[in-house]
Chains A and B, each alone.
Chain A
Amino acid sequence: MPRNGTGFRDAMDWLHTWFGVVLAAVLFAVFWMGSLSVFDREIDRWMIPETRLPASPGDISYDRLLQSALTRTGDSPYLNFVAPDAREPSVRLYYETAAKTFEVLHLDPRSGQVIDVTDSLAGTGFIFPFHFGLHIGWADLGYWIVGFAALSMLLLLISGLFIHRKIISEFFVFRPTKNPRRALLDLHNLTSLIGLPFYFLITFSGLLIFAFLYFPWAGAEPFDGDAARLYAETSGAFEPAPRTGEAAALGSIDAMKASAEAMWSARVDGPVEADIVRVINHGDASAAVYFRSTFPRHRVILSEHVAVFDGASGELLSDFRAGPVRRVSAWIEGAHFVQFGHWPLRWLYFLAGLSGCAMIALGQLFWLHARTDRSGADPAKVRVVRALTVGAVTGLILATAAFFLVNRLLPAPASWLGLDRAGLEVAVFACVWILSFVHAALRGRAAWSDQAYAIAALASLAVLLNWASTGDHLVATATQGLWSVLGMDVVLLTGAIAAATAALRLERERRATAPEGAIVRSARRGAQRIAPGTTQQ
């Protein structure tokens, strides 16, 4: 299967094979976490049960929320409210503490009370940032690795098209009854082709989101290195004035919000709502209130409108609408973030992301099968790549299932070795992931079915524990309209069934294709040494 010629297709084959094998683990992780991120707020509802509130009707009062929040935060220079919606019925508040760190609070939008929530990073705090930064913050290395993988993904997609000779004639072909290599290649090609427009869009838009990280000169040169002016002119970022030390009362945030929304709605056809309400330098004369419409419900474009008001007087300080060039890139980014209110489309994004995961995993499996010796003695490179693939694919899924499971197990005041409860959840994820690589190294081909069984077990347990710890079983969530929790439970159960089915078939195949276990093989070899020629080959 590996080609040794020097033509263009051979070069594309070499490129596709090498970049694929080396980057499959990173790409799978990005696609897996990305697929889950489509439903990151739903994962939040599942992992932070106190926020499983019924959807709040009508308008809420940010003035009242602010007063309630201040009792917990104290006077803070940065208080950022995220407006509630159907997916997130509570109000999330990010605020800066006296120690210059950022914390999160959840508020009940109707009563204004602070909700005592389970300490968990959950979907928006762990799954989503993993997707674009791998949680490797040192020197932005995570962003660079993901960026390099994304650029390589584009190369992989294009080189794959050049290698695949019969794109049209074999578009719908899948031959599982033939040898495994044929079946794997067919399925790899199929999953690649059916999602090709999606993979190009997602990868390109993902790269565009971090364009200024990869090409800082693109932003620096036009503005002579003035980053504040760059972000002010492209995104309406507001540079807060330094605190004057002079106390001043804040005007009505609700009135300012209504005024901002009226202004925006008049500019485009249709109502525009502010989903970010940020109070800057609260209590000071330099206080300002920043409003942004980040994720409109019925448009693809994001962060188009920003308005800033003076805190004390309510005077409009900044009325920003993204310029034409920014609107183009914001549309492409909006197509990646997929936060608009189109449910069929969001579910299709989730499924397309999973098909991307399948495509990547199948590519690796094909590489492994193409180099597997039939007698069972795999060369070292195959054993190493197999162990890494098992850890990167089933190991990552298993670690995610463990992350969800441990969330339902840890008590509220859990703390160990200096880690708080949220940190412990992440530690369990990391440990299970690392152990999955170790397990894969020790078990070889059997590791696939082992880990698939484990995924089925953990995912089912997670659903059961959700029922046990919160009482929100499938019927309860369906009748109460808690769609986030219902969706999460259904996906967990579907995943468990799929994993169990896969594990059973993998085990059956393993027994069929390698009927001689290691013991039998070594026995045969021993007999050959003692009496050569007496055993059959």
Chain B
Amino acid sequence: MIIDTLLLLLAAGASLVGCACLALSQDRHLLAVADHRRHPPRTPRHTRSLGWYLLATSLLACTLRDGGAFAALLWPLVVGTSAFAVALTLTYRPELMRPLLGMKHDTSQARRT
């Protein structure tokens, strides 16, 4: 029961962050979220791959929880919900996604210097 709840939270969380990464890998959304004064917007290099890996993790969590049959039904709905949440966040509260950007930007800054 506890494991089921944890796996569901993992599936939802990974999907949400994964969709956020996929969104941020697109320039228009990066510009909407980025704070121009401190982080000049540059397309983070590995964000898109990270996004897909997280979505795959979400699928794995769904499969571990309920088996392939239910995962086939559950996972697309979880991803759809996450995509909707990310789209609304980008529209109404883009600053909520800045922490994700903070992680990626530090890596690319360090690599440049």
A contact residues vs B (CB 8 Å cutoff): 169, 171-176, 190-191, 193-198, 201, 299-300, 331, 335, 340, 342, 344-345, 348-349, 351-352, 355
Contact = CB atoms under 8 A, between A and B. Distances in A.
Nearest to B89: A172
A299 B86 contact: no
B76 A198 contact: yes
B73 A299 contact: no
Given A172-B83, A173-B87, A299-B69, A349 B26 contact: no
A197 B80 CA distance: 9
A355 B81 CA distance: 10
A193 B79 CA distance: 11
A201 B73 CA distance: 9
B80 A342 contact: no
B60 interface: no
B77 A348 contact: yes
Given A172-B83, A342-B66, A300 B73 contact: yes
Interface residues of B, number: 24
Contacts of A169: 26, 28
Contact of B86 (A172, A176, A351): A172
Interface in B45-97: 66, 69-70, 73-74, 76-78, 80-81, 83-84, 86-88, 90-91
Interface in B1-53: 8, 19, 22-23, 26, 28-29
A176 B74 contact: no
A340 B67 CA distance: 14
A331 B76 CA distance: 17
30 contacts: A169-B26, A169-B28, A171-B23, A171-B87, A172-B22, A172-B26, A172-B86, A173-B90, A174-B90, A174-B91, A175-B91, A190-B84, A193-B83, A194-B83, A197-B76, A197-B77, A197-B80, A198-B80, A201-B73, A299-B69, A300-B73, A340-B70, A344-B8, A344-B74, A345-B70, A345-B73, A348-B74, A351-B81, A352-B77, A355-B80
Contact of B70 (A195, A342, A351): A342
A198 B74 CA distance: 10
A152 B33 CA distance: 39
Contacts of A335: 73
A100 B14 CA distance: 57
Contacts of A171: 23, 83, 87
Interface of B: 8, 19, 22-23, 26, 28-29, 66, 69-70, 73-74, 76-78, 80-81, 83-84, 86-88, 90-91
Nearest to A340: B70
**Which 6 residue pairs spanning A and B have beta carbons closest together?**
A197-B76, A194-B80, A348-B77, A172-B87, A172-B23, A174-B91
Contacts of B83: 171-172, 193-194
Contacts of B73: 201, 300, 335, 345
- Specify which of A172, A196, A300, A335 lies most central, judged by the most chain B CB atoms within 10 Å of its CB: A172
A173 B23 CA distance: 9
Contact of A194 (B66, B74, B81, B91): B81
A172 B70 contact: no
A423 B81 CA distance: 39
Contacts of A174: 87-88, 90-91
A423 B47 CA distance: 59
Contacts of A299: 69
Given A172-B90, A174-B91, A194 B70 contact: no
Contacts of A193: 83
Contacts of B87: 171-174, 190, 194
B36 to A, nearest CB: 19
Contact of A198 (B26, B70, B77, B86): B77
Contacts of B70: 300, 340, 342, 345
Nearest to A338: B73
A79 B81 CA distance: 43
A169 to B, nearest CB: 7
Nearest to B78: A348
Nearest to A335: B73
A323 to B, nearest CB: 19
B75 to A, nearest CB: 9
Given A299-B69, A300-B70, A342-B66, A176 B91 contact: yes
A509 B60 CA distance: 45
Contacts of B91: 174-176
Contacts of A351: 81
A344 B12 CA distance: 11
Contacts of B19: 172
A202 to B, nearest CB: 11
A184 to B, nearest CB: 14
A353 to B, nearest CB: 11
B39 to A, nearest CB: 20
B29 A172 contact: yes
Contacts of A340: 70
A49 to B, nearest CB: 31
A342 B69 contact: no
Nearest to B92: A176
Contacts of A191: 84
A300 B77 contact: no
Nearest to B19: A172
- Specify which of B70, B80, B83, B88 lies most central, judged by the most chain A CB atoms within 10 Å of its CB: B80
A176 B19 CA distance: 21
A349 B78 CA distance: 10
Contacts of B69: 299-300, 331
A471 to B, nearest CB: 32
Given A172-B23, A299-B69, A194 B84 contact: yes
A176 B28 CA distance: 16
Nearest to B20: A172
Contacts of B78: 348
A169 B76 CA distance: 20
Nearest to B67: A298
A52 to B, nearest CB: 26
